[in-house]
Amino acid sequence: MEDEFSKEDEDFLNKLDYDTVVQKVCQEIDVNNGSIKELKQGSAIVFLETSRKMALDKSGLIHSGNLYSSAAYAALLSVNNPNAIVIGAEVKFLAPLEVGNEVIFKAQTLQEDTKKREVKVEGFVLDIKIFDAMFYIAVFEKHVLSLHIAKEMDKKKG
């Protein structure tokens, strides 16, 4: 009986989660942008714990740029392509945050078959929606810095 139970445990522990994917983007990002709680094909969840370093003032109001950064991080993770960059966003900050608040950002890629992707990102404190955005992400064949766009433009001018 005990051997049978151990075999079941072993099978469960070795079972692959086919929904989970390997992180291919933002591998060098600062931990203050949040931590990955879930990464699946076309979606990601990022957890942000706000700190004093993010405060605008003595009362502890969190700078909105920190929220944007974590949301953009979640959006890029949901696309999970190392040649992807944010090219635009429509953002709504729905409530102020203070030092110590914990935010969950949920990102969902709306389509995955084009070079321009739309990613819906929502942020929650407990069950309260405090952030809502649509991120526009371009996916290139090569890393954007290897494209040498400026050099090519100079060649055409000269």
pLDDT at 149: 62
pLDDT at 134: 98
- As beta bridge partners, residue 110 has none
- Is the dihedral angle over the CA atoms 48, 36, 45, 84 positive or is it negative? positive
pLDDT at 45: 97
**Identity of the amino acid at 112:** E
Query: Which candidate, 56, 67, 34, places its Cα nearest to that of 133?
Result: 67
**Identity of the amino acid at 66:** N
**Identity of the amino acid at 96:** P
- Per CATH, the number for 19-157 is 3.10.129.10
Locus of tokens 């810095």: 145
Where do the domains of the chain lie?
19-157
pLDDT at 12: 45
DSSP 95: S
Number of neighbouring beta carbons within 10 Å of residue 128: 9
DSSP 110: S
**Pure H helices in the chain:** 2-14, 64-79, 149-157
The pLDDT profile of the chain, 158 residues, written as one tens digit per residue, is 555 555 555 554 444 455 667 876 665 677 778 889 999 989 999 999 999 999 999 999 999 999 999 999 999 999 998 989 999 999 999 999 999 999 999 999 998 777 899 999 999 999 999 999 999 999 987 777 776 665 666 677 76
